[in-house]
């Protein structure tokens, strides 16, 4: 996916494809069932009307640009 390559090579963040695929293919009121390796969308799952989601800001900073994250991703792909 081109978006992932830009983040990996230009920005220097060794991220996966989940965020990019969600932005590109997500639909309001549905969950996106996907495989991140390979980048493959399985289906869109309709969220029942009685189900609600809440986001919680933990206040913790998160970064995929650090060496720890890069090591974990490399290890995951190398087996």
- In the 3-class helix/strand/coil scheme, how is the chain assigned residue by residue? CHHHHHHHHHHCCCCCCHHHHHHHHCCCCEEEEEEECCEEEEEEEECCCCCCCCCCCCCCCCCCCCHHHHHHHHHHHHC
Active-site amino acid positions:
19
- State how far the Cα of 1 lies from the Cα of 36, in Å rounded to an integer: 11
What pLDDT does 52 receive? 94
Question: pLDDT band at residue 58, thresholds of 50, 70 and 90?
Answer: very high
pTM for the model stands at: 0.61
Most confidently predicted of 9-13, 22-26, 42-46, 67-71: 42-46
Indicate if the pLDDT at residue 61 is higher than 80: yes
| 77 compared with 31, residue with greater pLDDT | 31
């Amino acid at each position: 996916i081109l978006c992932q390559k830009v983040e990996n090579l230009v920005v220097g963040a060794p991220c996966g494809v989940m965020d990019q695929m969600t932005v590109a293919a997500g639909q309001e009121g549905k969950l996106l069932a996907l495989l991140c390796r390979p980048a493959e969308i399985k289906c869109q799952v309709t969220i029942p009307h009685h189900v609600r989601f809440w986001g919680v800001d933990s206040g913790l900073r998160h970064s995929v640009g650090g060496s720890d994250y890069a090591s974990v991703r490399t290890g995951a792909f190398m087996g």
